[in-house]
Amino acid sequence: MPADSIQEYSKVISDLKARKFYPIYLLHGDEAYFIDEIVSHIENHVLTESERAFNQTVFYAKDIEISAVVENARRYPMMANHQVIIVKEAQGYKKLDDFEAYFDNPVPTTVLVIAVKGKKVDGRSKLYKSSKKYVSFESKRLYEDSELPRWIKQHLGERGLQISESNCLLIADHVGSDLSKVANELEKLLINKGDLTEVNEAMIEKHIGVSKDFNVFELMSALAHRNTKRTFYINHHMSSAKDFSIIPLLAQFNSFFMKGVVLKQTQVKDQKGMMSMGIGFRQIKDYEKMLSNFSMAELEKAMSLVAEYDLKSKGVNQTMVGDSELMKELLFKILYRPTLSN
């Protein structure tokens, strides 16, 4: 998701809260959470409860033709300033082009919401170009290593709970990029915050279930320092969890070693340069250690091993070995340095 798309989503919600309504909302893209949140706000806040009875209709694409939606949209509200028409699961339509004529001349008192989840509308289409006059919001998935932590910080901050960058990263790594799931986990913090105004590690461990000592960032730090004992100690605790999966760790490892390769190639060593690559302040020392402890060949080997074990985790070229054993093998191979004999 582009860096300003979180702001774009925030602007849509902000305009709605300020009761600045548009006749058309075309919501589309891979990230369902943002689409659902915008739809929910329109559904629950544009009209009063008494106005909704005559002026709000929610359709599902599988149940109604586009021509019938347009016919409803051309009506005028009854004893209200607006009518709201919401079309959910609009990805079920084979062609959205049948909305084109209405997009060219919408009824200003109608708020028409078209929610297309799991796909984006063709940016070359006339429909898409027409929608740009109103609200056309493409909801893309957040990148876990940069945008997701930023969204976590914003989401909690808007609800009166501060959180450090490192704790944002901790949650993002543990929960993953499914925003609905992340929001549910953050809700646990909000419900249980009591008088606290800032999230601490104890809260995260208690309510979300991730330890500040045994997580992927501590594991990567141990690797960067080539601290074999600590690497396997952290891995032992992490892999003992019932829901342990190697897959999210491999994604983090790939990003970690890939950035290490780029740093070696470009010879970037200053903090500003590292941060411009999306490396958080908390991780700079780990990257500095990695650059001194791993040669270019070893970093490239680590990337190759991560790719190999990603395939193995999906059942390619391996016998039935569990994720914890695969992780041990991978860590051993990354850290192993053959002894050269004369």
Is the domain of 134 the same as that of 151?
A: no
Classify residue 117: in a domain, yes or no. yes
How much helix, strand and coil, in percent to the nearest 5, is found in the chain?
A: 55, 10, 35
**Distance of alpha carbon 155 from alpha carbon 149, whole angstroms:** 10
Is the domain of 129 the same as that of 174?
A: no
Torsion of CA 127, 46, 158, 216, to 10 degrees: -50
CATH code, domain carrying 167: 1.10.8
What pLDDT sits at residue 339? 61
CATH code, domain carrying 96: 3.40.50.300
What pLDDT sits at residue 19? 96
Q: Are 171 and 128 in contact (CB under 8 A)?
A: no
**Distance of alpha carbon 310 from alpha carbon 319, whole angstroms:** 14
Reported as a single tens digit per residue, the pLDDT across 88-116 is 999 999 889 999 999 999 999 999 999 99
Is the domain of 101 the same as that of 40?
A: yes
How many CB atoms are located within 10 Å of the residue 140 CB?
Answer: 14
Short-list 148, 201, 157, 216, CA closest to 176: 148
Classify residue 113: in a domain, yes or no. yes
Cα 193 from chain centroid? 24
What pLDDT sits at residue 144? 61
Q: Are 208 and 189 in contact (CB under 8 A)?
A: yes
What pLDDT sits at residue 123? 87
Q: Identify the sign of the CA torsion 77, 78, 80, 85.
A: negative
Is the domain of 155 the same as that of 266?
A: no
**Distance of alpha carbon 153 from alpha carbon 315, whole angstroms:** 36
Give 151-154's long-range contacts (Cβ < 8 A, gap of 24+): 151/6, 151/179, 151/182, 152/182, 152/186, 154/6, 154/10
Structural domain total, the chain = 3
Cα 50 from chain centroid? 37
What pLDDT sits at residue 3? 42
Classify residue 340: in a domain, yes or no. no
**Distance of alpha carbon 292 from alpha carbon 224, whole angstroms:** 9
Choose one of 138, 170, 186: the last residue of a domain. 138
Choose one of 112, 138, 164: the last residue of a domain. 138
What pLDDT sits at residue 212? 67
Short-list 162, 246, 244, 170, CA closest to 213: 170
**Distance of alpha carbon 292 from alpha carbon 309, whole angstroms:** 25
CATH code, domain carrying 303: 1.20.272.10
Short-list 113, 114, 180, CA closest to 142: 180
Q: Which residue range is the domain that position 34 belongs to?
A: 5-138
Classify residue 341: in a domain, yes or no. no
Is the domain of 110 the same as that of 233?
A: no
Choose one of 158, 181, 207: the last residue of a domain. 207
**Residue segments in the chain with a per-residue pLDDT below the cut of 70:** 1-4, 144-146, 211-212, 281, 318-319, 339-342
Q: For residue 200, what is the DSSP state? A: -
What pLDDT sits at residue 332? 95
Q: Using only C-alpha atoms, what is the Rg of the chain?
A: 25
Reported as a single tens digit per residue, the pLDDT across 281-323 is 678 888 999 999 999 999 999 999 999 999 988 888 766 778 9
Is the domain of 259 the same as that of 325?
A: yes
Is the domain of 130 the same as that of 69?
A: yes
Secondary structure of residue 142 in the 3-state scheme: coil
What pLDDT sits at residue 284? 85
Is the domain of 183 the same as that of 119?
A: no
- Complete DSSP assignment for 225-274: TT-HHHHHHHHHHHHTSTT--HHHHHHHHHHHHHHHHHHHHHT--SHHHH
